[in-house]
């Protein structure tokens, strides 16, 4: 039983060491020659014109979240739809409840007015 925990510990050590080693190595091995050009703000290789900090509308964020929610919903519903003939009544009811919860969330956001582009 203790060997299972040993494997988890080894996995955690590798999970920290593998991405951490290049970061630590770059601190010691990387060149450090800062100058004004390297510290200048740019976007896509072009010098910025005007203020560099721009406020985005929260609607962009809401639409992105709604896309992610319904994209993940379709990923979860696809295997359920493929195995629909082999599922029992319990799985069908669970799928319907899942769809109803997400539909309720959509109506909540819609009723709140977050989907209106004003």
Q: Is residue 53 part of a domain?
A: no
Report whether pLDDT(1) > 60.
no
Query: Contact 102/70 with Cβ under 8 angstroms?
Result: yes
Whole-number Å distance between alpha carbons of 47 and 108: 42
Q: Is the pLDDT of residue 25 over 90?
A: yes
Total domain count, the chain:
2
How far is CA 110 from each of CA 25, 64, 71, 114, 118, rounded to the nearest angstrom?
A: 50, 15, 18, 6, 13
* 33 and 77 belong to one structural domain: no
Sign of CA dihedral 112, 69, 71, 55: positive
pLDDT tens by residue, 56-99: 777 788 788 888 888 888 888 888 888 878 888 888 888 889 88
Task: Report if residue 117 sits inside a domain.
Answer: no
Q: What percent of the chain has pLDDT over 70?
A: 91
Q: Which domain holds residue 24?
A: 2-47
């Amino acid at each position: 039983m203790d060997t299972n925990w040993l494997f988890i510990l080894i996995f955690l050590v590798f999970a920290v060491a593998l991405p951490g080693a290049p970061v630590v190595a770059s601190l010691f091995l990387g060149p450090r020659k800062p100058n004004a050009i390297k510290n200048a703000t740019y976007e896509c290789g072009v010098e910025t014109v005007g203020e560099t900090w721009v406020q985005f509308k929260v609607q962009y964020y809401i639409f992105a979240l709604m896309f992610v929610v319904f994209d993940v919903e379709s990923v979860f519903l696809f295997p359920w739809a493929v195995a629909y003939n082999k599922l029992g009544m319990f799985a069908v009811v669970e799928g319907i409840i899942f769809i109803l919860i997400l539909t309720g969330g959509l109506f909540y956001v819609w009723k709140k007015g977050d989907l209106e582009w004003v």
